Structure 1
Amino acid sequence: MTVRNPRLAIEIDRQKPLPIYQQICERFRTAIAAGHLRPGDRVPALRGLATQLNTARGTVELAYTILVDEGYLQMRGAAGTFVSPSLSASQMQAVAAGGRRNAPDVSSLKDAVGEKETYTTPNVSTARQPVIAVALSGEPRPLQPGLPALDAFPRKIWSRIVSRRARGGERALLAYPDPAGYLPLRQHIATYLGLSRGVTCLPHQVFITSGYRATLELVLRSLASPGDRMWFEDPGYLLARNFLAETGMQLVPVPVDEEGIDVERGIEREREARFALVTPSHQSPLGYTLSLARRMALLNWAEAGSRWIIEDDYDSEFRYLGRPLPALKSLDRQDRVLYCGTFSKVMFPGLRLAYTVVPERAVERVGRVACSMNAGAPTLFQSALADFIEQGHFARHVKRMRALYGQRRLLIAQALKQAFGERLTVELPPGGIQFAVHFAEAAHGPVDDVAVASRARDAGLAVLPLSNWYAHGRIRDTPRGLVMGFANITDTKEADRLARTLRACLDG
């Protein structure tokens, strides 16, 4: 078999603020989109390209690693690096189309139609609801999902910054906050997202909210109509599902597998849905990453019907295999993605600060709704966070936590395997601060994970039953397991103790 080895001219501009490794990534994506590189083509070797560009080999290696993670390239050891053969003709066309179409489509949203199966209420009984409510609020408990390492947060630095701001006497800190958010913080977020997540946006597109629920409320009040249908990952983030059901959204559960949300199944179930809510970087709760093929398919679906995609990028800063992946929003050429982030996972949840990046065409509408809600977050904490970022503390904190969490997740994984043996499957995802584990089926049938979680709650733990995250949580074939956090496990001794306590809850 003959392998094409096309000559590829890559140029970088050292005057641009965009890092060189990101420029390399962009050049490869453009070449693939234009057809200059085709599936199976060999690309330049790391050392050769580094010499050609007069840059460090590590810079090229970082770019190649990102492109491999995104699904564009495939490394084959000594044989070299190739454009991924799994890129089909339709995916190549989608990538090319995304690169060609830069003018925004200002057409209005189509109304949702059809009589497909939808779900307006979560499948969680009132008897099981307290497990969720107690586990995620109030005093933190061991193994609580979504809780960052409170013991490792730089409290002294944060307290000093907040105190300095409070003593500064700025009158603006005492007045009603700007409904869109504190401008310097919006500027810092826009810069941060461009560098770390590949999201190109301007500060006026960034809206600060008081948490993810407030973000969803702002988006839906701005863009949704009563009875709109929304694709929702199955399993999917339980608290978001509960809130969306309360708003009257018609939820359409779409299955999730190892490649993330199954777009084809979503189209089969409800092609004309107006929204899709997804967690592409670290699927909640299973931890999968949305594949490149499905990212393109999801974007094409949204573009074809002038639909909206809500990207929940809740803990993408923490990835333990390679660098954090670019966001789905970074591939969005038609401005159909609303990107949502939060500081609850990277800082601490009591801060109550989150944000959303709004497509240009929706900025005016969202701005009007934000003003009518008049629910801006406290300016004191916003300004302190802006200082925290500007002074470099945020970047250093993320770097430290990434290393710390990488160690702590291994502690609990090893402890669980030792305590449960074959009765529990532990597959650690490549990122995040929580993960799901699965029970092996017992001789008498599926394990009642709701009962196990309830007993664990009584024992002082905050694990959640995995079956509750599914739309049909109590049918026999629904996977049974637990969702748990690991960020606050400090040492091997604590991990072993928690695993033994959890094991005791399995059999009552």
Structure 2
Amino acid sequence: MKRVSASLLPPIALDPGADVPIYRQLSEWFRRAIVEGQLQPGQRVPSTRALAGELKVSRLPVLSAYEQLHAEGYLETFTGAGTCVAGTIPLGAPEKPRRGRSNATPAATSPARRIAARAQAMAGPEQTWLESQGAFRVGLPALDAFPHEVWARLISRHARRVDTESLVYGDPLGYLPLREAVADYLRIVRAVRADASQVMITTGAQHGVQVCTHVLLDAGDSAWMEEPGYPGAHQALAAVGAKAVLVPVDEDGLDVAEGIRRGPEARMVYLTPSHQFPLGVTMSASRRMQLLQWATRAGRWIVEDDYDSEYRFGGKPVPSLQGLDADGRVIYVGTFSKVMFPALRLGWLVVPKDLVPAFCAARDALDTCSPMLPQRAMTDFIREGHFARHTRRMRALYAARRAALLEAIERHLPGRLRVVGAEAGMQLAALLPDGMDDIALSRRAAQVGVSIRPLSQCYRGAACRSGVILGYGGVDARAVDEAIRRLAHCL
């Protein structure tokens, strides 16, 4: 039987004034904790001396309780391991629920267990495509090509240099040297106009969008959302009780004229202009200027999500929408997750200077600040040139994986999938034949270890297109052909 390391026990409440002796109170507590799963089979329990000291009672009742539990088979003693919960105790709840159990099933006569309407609105559709980490999981970078040793060295460097500043609450805007590095990077690579005082370090792009909705929208306000678009933005909108105005996307990106027609009173616009999610189109220059002019004239805010701008394979690099903004109407959102790794949970916002105090207050209220250790390591990763080198390597690697995917689709699915949005990023969209159910297809694909995201789940209104979103960042080019072959079999 596997031994479970010792851990802190749940609180033990003893009543010295009760008629029931202490040893019986203690043995009953252990029986209940073991049967209800609070103490696991094989888990070490404190020694009688340690437990008596913690409970501030004589050691004698603790010894008596342990002896009783040994006799009943609830505890066992192992050489070198001390006293442990017996491995033969059946898991599960007792037949008769006991008072005070936090996981007890509510009685049929109990009041309705109501939750907020916004919590229900935030719940997304079934996501069978998340069950696999392989081909073609959307948003997963090439973790096999990440410079693990470099990152481990930087983390170790700062873990060994723990000081008071790294242990206290940080600035809601984030670690200043990292904000300076991000501002420098964005000015050079994305033509973003900002300095470190406007940069806020977030826990990723989704968190950045959430902060924006809390600052810019009140309950009942409306915001333009791309249709189809990023489901996480709709969740952020629902969290503040705002309403979505669904604006269609065509080959030139968000249809600004249609947005003005459908939602002239909208307070905010959320969009992904450089690489629209999920269709992959790039917003045209004329549409960008039209949107900026309307926002300036009407006093609206624009949230530009530039989630994977580092990777473009066709045409010239596209500058940010924020870099064209002369009136401070654009809040720029970005993330390190697509270049580094998703678990890093670091991203950024670039905020107009007059909004910085409001964003600071919202961040402080929501989650205070980002962890200091990864911020410091990320600063060195950028300053020492590792970030630029890794980005260049990944751009070449993703270009090869993209080419392998397009070739495999042509080989195994000629005429069955129509690829769109393959010029940038780490995923592409492919349209299915009319009448095909992309959600049912994603379920079948998940059963054979292939992760495909249904395009229809990115629509909030009636889905006018059926398709799949294929992420190629996290799948080796050699595995692409086999995965597409399995997908062809599902079709």
The code of the aligned residue for 1:383 comes to: R
SS at match of 1:426: strand
2:403 aligns with: 410
2:125 to 121, 126, 129: 129
Note if contact 2:119-2:239 (Cα within 8 Å) is conserved in structure 1: no
Match of residue 496 from structure 1: 481
Please say if residues 124 and 473 of structure 1, whose CA atoms lie closer than 8 Å, have aligned partners that are also in contact: no
- Structure 1 residue 219, shift from structure 2 partner: 1.6
Summarize the Cα distance change of 1:122–1:263 in structure 2 as closer, same or farther, 3 Å threshold.
farther
Is the Cα–Cα contact under 8 Å of residues 281 and 421 in structure 2 kept in the other structure? no
Q: Which moved more, 1:417-426 or 1:300-309?
A: 417-426
SS in 1 for 2:470: strand
In the alignment, the residues of structure 1 paired with residue 392 and residue 426 of structure 2 have an alpha-carbon distance, to the nearest angstrom, of 14
Instruction: Quote the Cα distance in structure 1 between the aligned partners of 2:120 and 2:413.
Output: 29
Tell me the TM-score normalised to structure 1 length.
0.71
C-alpha spacing 1:215/1:125, structure 2 compared with 1 (3 Å): closer
In the aligned structure 2, how far is the partner of 1:411 from the partner of 1:161? 34
Amino acid at match of 2:488: R
> How many residues align structurally?
375
| Counterpart position of 1:28 | none
In 2, the alpha carbon distance for the partners of 1:125 and 1:280 equals 24
Q: Distance in 1 between matches of 2:326 and 2:370?
A: 31
Partner residue of 1:485 out of 464, 467, 471: 471
Equivalence for 2:268: 275
CA distance in structure 1 between the partners assigned to 2:236 and 2:329 by the alignment: 22
- 1:152 alignment counterpart: 145
- Note the C-alpha offset of 1:122: 12
Distance in 2 separating the partners of 1:323 and 1:191: 21
Aligned to 1:226: 219
Does the alignment pair 1:383 with 2:372? no
User: Alignment partner for residue 168 of structure 1, among 151, 154, 161?
Assistant: 161
How many Å separate the matches in 2 of 1:504 and 1:125?
34
SS of 2:415's equivalent? helix
In 2, the alpha carbon distance for the partners of 1:352 and 1:125 equals 21
Q: How large is the RMSD of aligned CA atoms in angstroms?
A: 2.1
Deviation at 1:471, TM superposition (A): 1.9
In the alignment, the residues of structure 2 paired with residue 331 and residue 122 of structure 1 have an alpha-carbon distance, to the nearest angstrom, of 36
Quick check: which has more Rg, 1 or 2?
2
CA distance in 2, matches of 1:374, 1:501: 43
TM-score between both structures, scaled by the size of structure 2? 0.73
> 1:455 is matched by which residue type in structure 2?
R
Q: Name the SS of the counterpart of 1:264 in structure 2.
A: helix
Following superposition, the deviation at residue 430 of structure 1 comes to: 1.5
CA contact under 8 A between 2:307 and 2:333: conserved in structure 1?
A: yes
Aligned in 2, Cα 1:121/1:412: closer, same or farther, shift over 3 Å? farther
* Alpha-carbon offset, residue 413 of structure 1: 1.2
Say yes or no: does 1:141 pair with 2:134. yes
Structure 1 residue runs without a partner (length 5+): 1-119
CA contact (8 A) 2:132 2:450 kept: no
Q: Which moved more, 1:368-377 or 1:209-218?
A: 368-377
CA distance in structure 2 between the aligned counterparts of 1:497 and 1:203, rounded to whole angstroms: 46
Q: Give the deviation of 1:121 after TM superposition.
A: 8.8
The letter of the residue matching 1:456 is: A
* 3-state SS in 2 of match to 1:187: helix
Q: Is the 8 A contact 1:165 1:380 kept in 2?
A: yes
Q: Does 1:468 align with 2:457?
A: yes
* Deviation readout 1:187-229 (Å, 9 max, x if unpaired): 0011111001111111010001112222122222222211111
Any idea what SS the aligned residue of 2:392 has? Answer: helix
State how far apart, in whole Å, the 2-side matches of 1:150 and 1:191 are.
Answer: 26
Q: Residue 255 of structure 1 aligns to a residue in which SS? A: strand
Pick the aligned partner of 1:213 from 200, 206, 212.
206
CA contact (8 A) 2:129 2:446 kept: yes
Cα distance change of structure 1 residues 401 and 323 upon mapping to structure 2, 3 Å threshold:
farther
Equivalent-residue separation in structure 1 for 2:438 and 2:375 (angstroms): 40
Match of 1:336? 329
Letter in 1 for 2:173: A
After superposition, the Cα gap between the structure-2 partners of 1:392 and 1:182, relative to the gap in structure 1 and judged at 3 Å, is same
Distance in 1, matches of 2:246 and 2:141, equals 29
Separation (CA, whole Å) in 2 of partners of 1:225 and 1:376: 23
Give the secondary structure class of the aligned counterpart of 1:483. Answer: strand
Identify which of 426, 431, 456 aligns with 2:445.
456
Q: 1:447 aligns with which of 414, 436, 439?
A: 436
Q: Deviations over 1:5-25 (max 9, x none)?
A: xxxxxxxxxxxxxxxxxxxxx
Tell me the equivalent position of 1:201.
194
1: CA distance between counterparts of 2:245 and 2:433?
A: 29
Amino acid aligned to 2:235: N
What code does the residue aligned with 2:440 have? A
Structure 2 SS opposite 1:256: strand
**Equivalent residue of 1:460, what SS?**
coil
Taking only the aligned residue pairs, the percentage that are identical comes to 43
Alpha-carbon distance between aligned partners in 2 of 1:236 and 1:155, rounded to the nearest angstrom: 33
In the TM superposition, residue 123 of structure 1 has moved relative to its aligned partner by 12
